[in-house]
Amino acid sequence: MGKEWRSFLRLLKRLPVLGLGGLLFLMVFVSPALSHRVLVFAYAEGDTIHSEAKFVPDTPVRGGKVLVLEQGSGRELLTGETDNRGKFSFKVPKEAAAGNLDLKIVVEAGMGHRGEWLLKAGSYGRNSEPLKNLASAANRTAVQAAPGPEILKLESQALETILTRVLERQLAPLHARLAEMAVRRVSLTDVVAGLGYLLGFFGLWAYFKSKGQRKV
């Protein structure tokens, strides 16, 4: 047996210690990535609602079951399934637009994972009135009659509709980004706080137990 062989054996004996050291290293330096919380967000664009679900931080929920519920009663309006990018789009349900309902969008990702997003009635469907009709109505009035307060009103209405559409399209990525930022991520502070709580809790426990044990 050579010297090297023996030192290798010694290394083998130390393996458990090294392994534990490695584990501790992992525990400290692994970035706090958590991936089994499901983040759902949704925004409206015209009469379509786009929803997206992912496991935090960034894995799409593929084939997750989507339920669109009425916020108040929990009535199911429609269901669907997310695609490979975790996305699911649907037309605003007629009754929701008519009744000004708040929508709760629930995504069930399987194995007990679930996330939801509340889409307020105000944030969709206000401009569901077809744009073309409005515009042509404005045109017609313009041809028929001289400019008056009515056509001004119509024009401004049409303008508002167009503006809302464009703004919605422009703001969609921003909405998505905001939704992402609204999610509380685990920070180092949380981890340290938790460990502190545990230390304090078990410290207190030991303190009271010790008081009971040796009566002074």
Smallest separation (angstroms) from another protein to the CB of 210: 6
The only residue of 112, 122, 148, 149 in contact with another protein, by rule CB under 8 A: 112
Residue 39: partners with Cβ closer than 8 Å, 6 or more residues away: 53, 54, 55, 56, 115, 179, 180, 183
Report, in this order, helix, strand and coil percent for the chain, each rounded to 5: 50, 25, 25
Cβ–Cβ contacts within 10 Å for residue 61, how many?
Answer: 27
The tally of CA atoms less than 13 A away on the side-chain side of residue 107 is 28
Taking alpha carbons only, the member of 55, 83, 80 closest to residue 69 is 80
Six-digit token pair at 79? 């269901």
- 63 or 99: whose CB is closer to another protein? 63
Rounded Cα distance between 61 and 50, Å, is 15
**Binding to another protein by residue 11, rule CB under 8 A?**
no
Q: Which stretch binds another protein (CB under 8 A): 43-51, 79-87, 105-113, 169-177?
A: 105-113
The only residue of 6, 12, 19, 99 in contact with another protein, by rule CB under 8 A: 19
The only residue of 1, 84, 111, 182 in contact with another protein, by rule CB under 8 A: 111
Question: Could you tell me how far CA 185 lies from the centroid of its own chain?
Answer: 11
Six-digit token pair at 164? 């809302």
Six-digit token pair at 33? 């990535």
Smallest separation (angstroms) from another protein to the CB of 37: 6
C-alpha R_g of the chain: 29
Smallest separation (angstroms) from another protein to the CB of 52: 17
Q: Site residues for another protein, window 62-91 (CB under 8 A)?
A: 62
**Binding to another protein by residue 213, rule CB under 8 A?**
yes
The only residue of 32, 72, 99, 173 in contact with another protein, by rule CB under 8 A: 32
Smallest separation (angstroms) from another protein to the CB of 19: 4
Please report, as ranges, the residues that interact with another protein according to CB under 8 A.
15-17, 19-20, 23, 26-27, 30, 32-38, 55, 59, 62, 108-116, 184, 186, 190-191, 193-195, 197-199, 201-203, 205-206, 209-210, 213
